[in-house]
Structure 1
């Protein structure tokens, strides 16, 4: 199976003289499949085998890492000391790949993201055969008699496709930017309720687009990475500010909120995510945020302002109580400055005149939204319920944008 590299699209037309040109982010280069990578029969075999092993998936991932580290002890230093979260990530990635196995375009895009992101771990081309052999041995063990030569061949081919895309994306990425960016923490401002605004300054320029997210590693928990979205569009001084909520068991978030001080060094992974303004095809935008999920939405609002306010933005902030309406005052001040921005709240568990109701109810009342591009960020249940409400009322699924559910804005980390 051969792959070619899809080059970035032609650049957009230059801005008008009265509009400053926004600073471009690094463009990801996606490997593109020259032909559908798997046949319909091979896809059927893979999905049938997943149905067999899925009830045993947790045990299978434990077994996978056990044999990987036993056979290839040189890869153990690439992983964090505690493996519980890592096993979950492997399982989610595997299931997502299987889910997209009949969607070559999105499969290639997802695996390209994985390849670029794995550079920060020190992953090398030579590691992929070892991982593939251990993965197939794990699947065979837990599939039992259901594992046939045809299924083994289908999985071998599928893993080869995934590995080729990841390797190609990583090697292309390495030609233009580093794997990690050392950064100095310059400000940490407590905001109450276990939230802090953490500002860092990378040692070398860090290009990203408003709405993307950034993985962060602290010196106190090496090889443990958690993702946070900058709460602003790119700045001239190059600093990045994250809104971080400390949660029970969240080692990275707790360290950033309660332990970090100016002068501490952290490391940043490459910017990730497709929840960017350039993904919009409509002039009208619907933005929905909950908790610190407001950070990427606020960045998108700033980006609209930088581009001259060419979009009408309807922003809904959801929370259980009024006290949890994080950042509402800041957004209301922005709405006073920008006529194209409208801000509304939705509080589900507390009576507040004018805004009592759940977020899906409020979205349904003010909709429909099928002429809007939609950007969602917040707790995973909120994003899921909002997405369901919007699709039921006519919004096309491909016009609804949100980050993966294992990103910190959408998960407890």
Structure 2
């Protein structure tokens, strides 16, 4: 966690010259951190501890008043952006999703549908952090595979990762009626809305999930531009959602779906 924290802070510091990119990211993180019960006092305590640690590691010769002011200003910007976004958020810190369907399409891949306890405003292409009952306090990120639904139904495609505690629990141990905690929507993966601009989408395995959500959303719109989707996998079975994509292409003349595989036979 310490390595991740310093990597994130270093990235933000490097990007401060382009605030239009990094400040929205910090705002999303602030909204997402509400699920931990983080308050303004926590942020301020971490800021003071971080400055003290930097001063201790840098040494008195290099740690000048100017250096301290620069670091305090940068950290204050990070804290203010995150806390302002968190405090301005009107939605709940977490949503509760009840599992209504668990379909294990492959030995290591499951499609899970949940019904949320209240409406979640998200954009197709975004992702959320989830916590499952069999792995408390272990948050993992999953992309929505469907656009917002009036019945508050969401869908996730989860592939078991070798050594992954949460992905293994989701694919093998999930039961109908289980309740998940779901954090605030994150990310900015989206499609251009410029008129006449053709679109190219490329995905492999469960990477199709956020693109699938966008395609289903685009099917509701008028005047959708030509879109080519290349969906890949090592084996034919990895194209687990191909029937859905082809079915969509049959009713949407603007959509072309091209499957790509490395091996023609399944293992």
Pairwise same-fold verdict (TM > 0.5):
yes
Q: How many residues align?
A: 263
Name structure 2 gaps, 5 residues minimum: none
Distance in 1, Cα, partners of 2:179 & 2:2 = 27
Which consecutive residues of structure 1, in runs of 5 or more, have no partner in the other structure?
A: 1-85, 353-413
TM-score (normalizing by structure 2): 0.90
Deviation for aligned residue 1:318? 2.7
90, 98, 101: which is aligned to 2:16? 101
Task: State the 4+ residue runs in structure 1 displaced beyond 4 angstroms.
Answer: none
Residue 248 of structure 1 aligns to a residue in which SS? coil
- Of the two structures, which has the highest relative contact order with CA contacts closer than 8 Å and spacing of 6 or more? 2
Q: CA deviation at 1:309?
A: 5.1
Q: CA deviation at 1:146?
A: 4.3
Over aligned residues, Cα RMSD in angstroms?
2.0
CA contact (8 A) 2:125 2:210 kept: yes
Cα distance 1:298–1:264, how it changes in 2: closer, same or farther (>3 A)?
same
What is the distance in 2 between the residues matched to 1:142 and 1:322? Answer: 53
2:82 is aligned to: 166
C-alpha separation in 2, matches of 1:91 and 1:323: 40
How far did 1:141 drift?
3.6
Question: 1:185, CA displacement in angstroms?
Answer: 1.1
> Equivalent residue for 1:155?
71
Partner of residue 263, structure 2: 350
Could you tell me which residue of structure 2 aligns to residue 177 of structure 1?
A: 91
Residues 294 and 160 (structure 1), Cα distance of their counterparts in 2 relative to 1, 3 Å cut: same
Do the aligned partners of 2:100 and 2:114 also contact (CA within 8 Å) in 1? Answer: yes
Q: 1:198 to 1:97 in 2, by over 3 A?
A: same
Correspondences of 1:10-409 after superposition (within 5 Å):
86-144=1-59, 146-173=62-89, 176-277=90-191, 279-282=192-195, 283-308=197-222, 310-347=224-261, 349-350=262-263
Q: 1:193 Cα shift?
A: 3.9
More strand per residue:
2
8 Å CA contact 2:13, 2:74 repeated in 1: no
Does the 8 Å CA contact 1:304/1:311 hold for their aligned counterparts? no
Q: TM-score, normalising length from structure 1?
A: 0.60
